[in-house]
């Protein structure tokens, strides 16, 4: 557990001192969301209709673009090699890194989401559900994305590649995340969608650290 906390602390400190990373993710999220009113036109009811989907898709893309940070720099400067050699289980360390990634990208996105929902004219009934769904969904995005981030270590054009690997796996989160908000907006209980999202998160939490750690070990061979 100490190893987990140590790596979490280290990654958080790095993210805070290098500063701009989290801000850039949120900025990307906001800019992407802002593009849609230009693309589909500014009619309020159309925007309200598509708001939940737009916010989820933008969040997905923002989470994906920041994935490179999880392992790439550590891979380049050799830190990752030392981590794989350390006596602490790599699965735990990977989980620590994923937690740090979520705290520095997922959490700011959740805070920024209601703002964009207001700008897209989304009904207020959906706000709580939107934030709850993102609270359950974004950690799953970080966990699943970490597999992709680890697989592409050392690849040519890794950045483009990771989108091809990770986005198909993100689709279930998108479906149920947007579905939950949709249900709340219609006045139906969103419990079912939220429960499925919780299930996805739990499965991802239990299974993906092993896959990610395995991929990291392969990259180190």
- Nearest-angstrom CA–CA distance, 85 and 105: 28
Q: How far is the CB of 149 from other proteins (least distance, A)?
A: 12
Nearest to 60 by CA among 157, 177, 216, 149: 177
Minimum distance, C-beta of residue 52 to other proteins, in the bound complex (Å):
16
Residues sharing a CB contact under 8 Å with residue 31, sequence separation 6 or more, in sequence order: none
- Minimum CB distance to other proteins, residue 218 (Å): 5
Instruction: State the Cα–Cα distance between residues 44 and 23, nearest whole angstrom.
Output: 28
Q: Rounded to a whole number, what is the distance in angstroms from the first to the last CA of the chain?
A: 26
C-beta closer to other proteins: residue 5 or 155: 155
How is residue 193 written in tokens? 């969608």
Q: Binding string to other proteins for residues 122 to 151, with x set by CB under 8 A, is what? A: -------------------------x---x
Stretch that binds other proteins, among 16-24, 68-76, 105-113, 167-175 (CB under 8 A): 167-175
Among 169, 174, 198, 205, binds other proteins (CB under 8 A): 169
Smallest gap from Cβ 198 to other proteins, in A, equals 17
Task: At 183, list the tokens.
Answer: 């249900």
Q: In the structure encoding, which two tokens stand for residue 209, read together?
A: 């650290």
Provide the binding-site residues for other proteins, judged by CB under 8 A. 147, 151-152, 154-158, 161, 164-165, 167-169, 171, 211, 214-215, 218-219, 221
């Amino acid at each position: 557990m100490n190893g987990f906390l140590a790596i979490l602390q280290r990654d958080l400190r790095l993210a805070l001192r290098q500063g701009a990373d989290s801000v850039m993710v949120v900025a990307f999220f906001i800019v992407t969301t802002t593009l849609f009113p230009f693309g589909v036109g500014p009619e309020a009811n159309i925007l309200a209709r598509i708001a939940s989907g737009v916010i989820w898709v933008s969040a997905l893309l923002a989470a994906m673009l920041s994935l490179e940070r999880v392992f790439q720099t550590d891979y380049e400067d050799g830190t990752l090699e030392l981590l794989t050699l350390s006596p602490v289980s790599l699965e735990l360390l990977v989980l620590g890194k994923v937690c740090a990634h979520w705290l520095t990208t997922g959490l700011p996105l959740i805070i920024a989401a209601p703002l964009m929902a207001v700008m897209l004219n989304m009904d207020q009934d959906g706000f709580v559900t939107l934030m709850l769904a993102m609270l359950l969904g974004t950690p799953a995005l970080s966990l699943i994305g970490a597999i992709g981030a680890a697989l592409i270590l050392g690849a040519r054009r890794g950045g483009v590649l990771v989108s091809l690997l990770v986005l198909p796996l993100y689709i279930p989160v998108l479906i149920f995340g947007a579905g939950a908000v949709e249900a709340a907006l219609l006045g139906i209980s969103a419990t079912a969608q939220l429960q499925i999202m919780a299930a996805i998160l739990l499965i991802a939490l239990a299974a993906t650290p092993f896959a990610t750690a395995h991929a990291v070990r392969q990259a180190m061979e």
